[in-house]
Chain A
């Protein structure tokens, strides 16, 4: 079993599906010969040929449109948006076509495509390279949005996304592309979509997060454990559709919930989770639902970035607040 980083795990999953499903193709800017801006498609064009790992012009709307066309006609295209900040030209194709084809054709056609996009900040990148706008896509019915938090999850969830008959936006938290390694077996085993994963069981507070924020959340939980506070950690993994059942189940047990996200606060996934807890889980709550988020500002450049990104300390502060009510 190989010890791999998240970006290696993505490459492994892509290669596995290219090898085992002749309908799978990859397309995007510099995904072929160059191997992708983050090397996620490194070596794939050489192994599978340039007609299956296709270098496209720098034109996101075209890439997305091409992907929708291919997917509705029996192929399984995987497009790469180099950064989430450059995905917006694709938005029209994703929202108006990919997400609606099943409904538009009353189930006659589906749209089995994946759009991969590195997202998130914390790497001192220039403008447009650090956004976390998953909520914009989570709002769209008919579209699945997935964000792995670890190498093994990137591998298993990407396989499931590629094999899924509906469109999946697969968001890769680039800050943790190389953060650590995990033993991942290239055995083609997919992980379940549409489910939260309980990463650590606890009794006092439920910490809900996804993507790169898992790192700070674990740090916070470790530190809280030394103070005798037992935190349950939930990795949302599939942002849309959202598995609220697992979150409710956990909050029923702990009575408290802190949601951690890198994205801005207003109208975000944490808003939806908090609203859902208020609507369906109010009588399980012993304290207000707290949120540790980015700010409702443009993502700052490197000098202020550290101020923007949620930290373990900010998570701990909010946990202490909800623990005051016992």
Chain B
């Protein structure tokens, strides 16, 4: 007498449904003859007779679900069943026992019976337990993944409108909120009263107010004075009169030996580039359409202060040693700080340098001050991945932006000037 238990039918599922019996109680059967068709998740599998004998008992009718490992059919030599009539709950208990045997198998346990072992993928735990991944977030429910999405898109979940069932925030709600940040209520800009003595200025666009605040620009109008006023005039004049074109590239400074001074190296590279392409170290007269190539390099160095922009000049840079350049820089800085810079030191430069990268920013479109025809701006140093023979390296690079006056300088001249700068900056010292 032997009871054949339902093996795992190759899908790793916890149970299977009887579709049709091909044998009946009392039948004498041979090994491998068709015994029963079982359905597991709609795949019908034919199970053959495992052992020759007489069918003593069938443990289910078509439509019944049999757990993997539970009895399916009993064979005996004479066709009589040794088993009592099993109730479904007994069958289930027996199946549980088989599963527990499997689960709790320890070193000391008897190995589980062969027929209870999955034929291909073993036994998976299954349940109908419904889990809930939603968590309250400011009175609204959001799944962790949705919260992660909100974090990625920088959306405050507290402000998101939940459209899911029961106040659940869905991913689309977050995306919608990210695509439509709370807009500022559009309102006609209201110019604040301007002091009578002040020139009529265009009304600036008011800063976007907080979503809840009315759109009213705050703060008083201030008359700009001194260097800030000079800056405004010079820039307006430059914008009105020159034809600026900017090219940008990076200088790889990976080879620099320790102790190199960035400003000093930039100044030296400008001197080298001016020698290579003198057209950029020049003045241009737009009225007469005349240009003047200048034989020495006087660099106007842009210095930022609370009071505005100062551009003191470092004269004859082509003849300065690195130490002298450093000394000149220190003098310039202290003079700017103490506002003791003589007016003649702030004019007649032949080329301008703006090292704005000490703060932030990679590239720029710096503005040329006429009659100069070029300005170089150096952005923030960064590490850049550079392909090299056999792999990749991270090199320090300086981003450079060269604005030239296209009335006086050709694109080719400007590009060659920049190339000469970069080549010099590539040098180790």
Contact = CB atoms under 8 A, between A and B. Distances in A.
Interface in A1-21: 1, 3, 5
A212 to B, nearest CB: 10
B120 interface: yes
B127 A179 contact: yes
Contact of B105 (A126, A199, A302): A302
A152 B104 contact: no
Given A123-B121, A123-B122, A302-B102, A180 B111 contact: no
B42 interface: yes
Contacts of B152: 192, 195
Give the dominant DSSP class at A's interface: loop
A102 to B, nearest CB: 14
B10 interface: yes
A37 B8 CA distance: 12
A150 interface: yes
B429 interface: no
A265 interface: no
Contacts of B123: 123-124
B122 A129 contact: yes
B151 interface: yes
B147 A197 contact: yes
B220 to A, nearest CB: 42
Nearest to A129: B121
A130 B41 CA distance: 23
A246 B150 CA distance: 13
A43 interface: yes
A42 B42 contact: yes
Contact of B172 (A175, A189, A302): A189
Interface string A41-66: 01100000000000000000000000
A235 interface: yes
B148 A303 contact: no
A246 B124 CA distance: 32
Interface string B142-162: 011111110110000000000
Given A196-B148, A199-B133, A1 B112 contact: no
Interface string A17-40: 000000000000000001101110
A276 B340 CA distance: 52
Contacts of B130: 3, 180-183
A232 to B, nearest CB: 11
B196 interface: no
B143 A152 contact: yes
Given A37-B10, A175-B125, A182 B43 contact: no
By size class, the interface of chain A is 35 or more
A123 B120 CA distance: 11
Contact of B165 (A1, A83, A157, A178): A1
B175 to A, nearest CB: 9
Contact of A191 (B127, B131, B171): B171
B204 to A, nearest CB: 38
Contacts of A43: 42
Nearest to A157: B145
Nearest to A152: B133
A123 B171 contact: no
A105 to B, nearest CB: 14
B11 A39 contact: yes
B42 A199 contact: no
A39 B122 CA distance: 15
B124 A175 contact: yes
A198 interface: yes
B87 interface: no
Interface in B19-69: 40-43
Contacts of B11: 37-39
List 8 tightest A-B contacts by C-beta distance, closest first: A178-B126, A197-B144, A124-B122, A125-B122, A191-B145, A123-B122, A189-B171, A180-B129
16 contacts: A37-B12, A39-B11, A42-B43, A123-B122, A125-B12, A125-B122, A126-B120, A178-B14, A181-B131, A182-B130, A187-B172, A191-B146, A196-B148, A197-B144, A246-B148, A306-B106
Interface of A: 1, 3, 5, 34-35, 37-39, 42-43, 83, 122-126, 129, 150, 152-153, 156-157, 174-183, 185, 187, 189-192, 195-200, 235, 237, 246, 302-307
